[in-house]
Structures are given as C-alpha cells and as structure tokens.
Amino acid sequence: MSRYALVTGGSRGIGRAVCVELARRGYPVVINYNSNTAAAEQTAALIAAEGGTSELLPFDVADAKAVEAALEKWQEKHPDDYIAVLINNAGIRHDQLLVFMQDGEWESVLNTTLGGFFHVTRRLLKDMMTSRWGRIVNMASLSGVKGLPGQANYSAAKAALIGAMKALAQEVAPRGITVNAIAPGFISTDMTKDLDEKELKKMIPVGRFGRPEEVAALVGFLVSEDAAYITGQTISVNGGLYT
C-alpha cells in the first residue's frame, strides 16, 4: 500500500510549493485545483523536474458531491493505495467591510475554507484511521488568529478552521494521525498581488513578504516522522508580525 499526498489548491502559490516539497520527500502527489489546469500542469512539471510523480485531480472543495465523486474515482484507480497526507490549502478572499458585505462574499469564503476542510477531510479520514497513520495540515492565516478589518468572512473561516483542527486533533491522536494548522502572514502569491507591499512590509519585523517555499518547509516538517508528537497546534510563519 503506497502513501499518497493530496494538496488542495495545489495549482498555484503556497499549494504549488507544498506539492514540490512533498514530492521531494518521496510522496506521489495528487494536485487538486478548481479550474486553472494550465497552472496545475506547471506544478506537475516542477515535480517531474525533481524526479517526482504527480497526478491532477480537479474538483471544487466547496462542493460536497464533487469532492465525493472525485475521491471515489481516485480510490477506484488506486485500490491498494491511500492518501496518508492531506494539506487543506485551497482558499479564497473576498474582502469587504462587514456593513457592505454581500451574502455571496460571506458564503463563498466560508464554503471554500471551512466547507472544503470538512468535505475532503471527512472522506479521507477513514483510510488514515484504519491504516493508523496520517498527517493533516490546514492552511489558516494570521487573519484567523488576529482578525483583520475588511476580512470578517475570511477571519471567521480561518478561525473556525483552527477550532475544527483542535477538535479533530484530539479525536484522531490515538490513531497515529496528527492535525495541525499553519498561520501564514503576508506571502507573495496571486492572492496578495493586489496589496500595497511597500507599505505593508514596514509592519513586518523581517522587512519583507514571505515566499511560498518558506511555508512549504514547515509543511514538510509537520508531515515528517520527527513531528509525530506535534498535534493540535497553530504555527505562524509571518516574519515576526506579532499576533
């Protein structure tokens, strides 16, 4: 039985760097994404260049039925394997002051981050439990720890993700499964390209935005055997931006 790693939102940004890191650690990587096939293929090419293997598995993490159907199909193709490492990374922002926030802005952000965590994790947990080994890492945010104005939807989704992570960590610890969260600060990706980096970096003690690889390095450690005693934690990667 081979252990696979699944990264949601693996086509771009932090997810792409995480895919490459897990491939370097020897995992065959399942690259999930929503719609950007060209970007997902670039992630696959980076993995291949490192001598790793990967496959694309597009689905919308917010859509419970789509998640179920895609993972069912994957399992049929891989009857003897299981997804032992799950990185819940897919996320979106729709920033707006709460007083102006539309239903769709609230719901889409909650459904992607929190719904996505629920749909994908529930489906993959059984195999991790019967195999008595698993690693789940959830991409939270500084926004979910501290709260950021203009992001009530995003802060709520990420804070809820941290709460769910803490509960699940206690449920599955006896089965050799660890569940943690990472709270990145400002990382240079498509998600942050509209922000005023010159202004914002003045607040960051390290004096710059982070790189996706700097988040991926922590994911690599958390999924390793060395991190078997770390669970239920939220670890910040934020250049010293005090939370």
Determine the Cα–Cα distance for residues 95 and 105; give it in Å rounded to an integer.
8
Among 142, 204, 12, 198, which Cα is nearest to 89's? 12
Residue 37: count of CB within 10 angstroms of its CB:
12
Shortest distance (Å) from residue 156 CB to ligand NAP: 13
Pick the binder of ligand NAP from 21, 22, 84, 112 (CB under 6 A).
112
> Binding to ligand NAP (CB under 6 A): which residues in 71-90?
89-90
Q: Which helix (H) or strand (E) holds 128?
A: helix 116-131
Determine the Cα–Cα distance for residues 133 and 128; give it in Å rounded to an integer.
6
- Nearest to ligand NAP of 56, 133 (CB atom): 56
User: Under the criterion CB under 6 A, does residue 204 sit at the interface with ligand NAP?
Assistant: no
| Residue 232 CA: distances (Å) to CA of 7, 70, 136 | 19, 28, 10
- Nearest to ligand NAP of 39, 86 (CB atom): 39
- Report the amino acid identity of residue 163: G
> Binding to ligand NAP (CB under 6 A): which residues in 15-34?
15, 32-34
Return phi, psi of residue 101, to 5°: -70, 135
45-53, 58-66, 119-127, 164-172 -> range binding ligand NAP (CB under 6 A): 58-66
User: Under the criterion CB under 6 A, does residue 184 sit at the interface with ligand NAP?
Assistant: yes
Q: How many residues bind ligand NAP (CB under 6 A)?
A: 30
Q: Are 62 and 111 in contact (CB under 8 A)?
A: yes
From 27, 82, 154, 229, active-site residue: 154
User: Under the criterion CB under 6 A, does residue 91 sit at the interface with ligand NAP?
Assistant: yes
233: exposed, middle or buried (C-beta count within 10 Å: 0-12, 13-18, 19+)?
middle
- Nearest to ligand NAP of 56, 230 (CB atom): 56
Can you spell out the DSSP letters for 76-121?
Answer: HH-TT-EEEEEEE-------B-GGG--HHHHHHHHIIIIIHHHHHH
Shortest distance (Å) from residue 64 CB to ligand NAP: 12
Q: Please say if 27 is a catalytic residue.
A: no
Shortest distance (Å) from residue 172 CB to ligand NAP: 22
Pick the binder of ligand NAP from 4, 5, 6, 11 (CB under 6 A).
11
Determine the Cα–Cα distance for residues 9 and 7; give it in Å rounded to an integer.
6
- Nearest to ligand NAP of 101, 129 (CB atom): 101
- Nearest to ligand NAP of 169, 219 (CB atom): 219
Give the residue numbers annotated as catalytic, written as ranges.
154
**Which residues of this protein are in contact with ligand NAP, per CB under 6 A?**
8-9, 11-15, 32-36, 39, 60-62, 89-92, 112, 139, 141, 184, 186-187, 189-192
